[in-house]
Amino acid sequence: MKVRVGFGFDVHKLVEGRDLWLGGIKIPHSLGLLGHSDADVLIHAICDALLGAANMRDIGYHFPDTSADTLDIDSKILLKKTIDLIATKGYRLGNIDATVCAERPKINPHVEKMKECLATVMNADVDDISIKATTTEKLGFTGREEGMSAYATVLIYKD
């Protein structure tokens, strides 16, 4: 069995007039994340981690923010396509450990629903997906509530 690890990071600015999508679900909040797609910072970090683990570059390479095909796209579609991409090299998901960094809204009440959504999209076991939340203690751009970031580490494998 061949095992590989990948790391992903993403950040998006918080703005008025956009829905807040995290981990594939819509979370009630007065601000949303700005991006070419739905700007789901958590899914984007996971995609980058998966692609990196498979040595397949990054999310921007496969789904450029200059493409009309990805304008306002649901990031769950990008995640499913990423799972399909790593499968072309024989890889399957082992597990994900991810962290969302935001002052508000509170992420923890939504974690189980996010895990269920991501598991469905990736045809994975919910127990193989860990999502945590943290703040920056009011420091930096996340602390000032200017944006959110997410980090993801994944393990992929092939027999």
Q: Tell me: the pLDDT tens digits for 63-96? A: 999 999 999 999 999 999 999 999 999 999 999 9
| 23 has binding-site annotation | no
**37 is known to lie in a ligand binding site:** yes
Q: What is the span of the domain harbouring residue 32?
A: 2-158
Is 11 known to sit in a ligand binding site?
Answer: yes
Low-confidence ranges of the chain (pLDDT < 70): none
Tokens of 59: 């999310």
d(CA 22, CA 10): 12
Q: Which helix (H) or strand (E) holds 113?
A: helix 111-122
What pLDDT does residue 59 have? 96
7 marked ligand binding residue:
no
What is the pLDDT at residue 8?
Answer: 98
110 is in an annotated binding site: no
Predicted pLDDT of residue 129: 98
Predicted pLDDT of residue 98: 98
What is the number of domains present in the chain?
A: 1
Q: Is 44 annotated as a binding residue?
A: yes
pLDDT at residue number 108: 96
pLDDT value, residue 95: 98
Structure confidence at residue 130 (pLDDT)? 98
* Residue 99 annotated in ligand binding: no
- Flag whether 41 is marked binding: no
Asked if residue 135 belongs to a known ligand binding site, the reply is yes
What is the domain-level CATH number for residue 78?
Answer: 3.30.1330.50
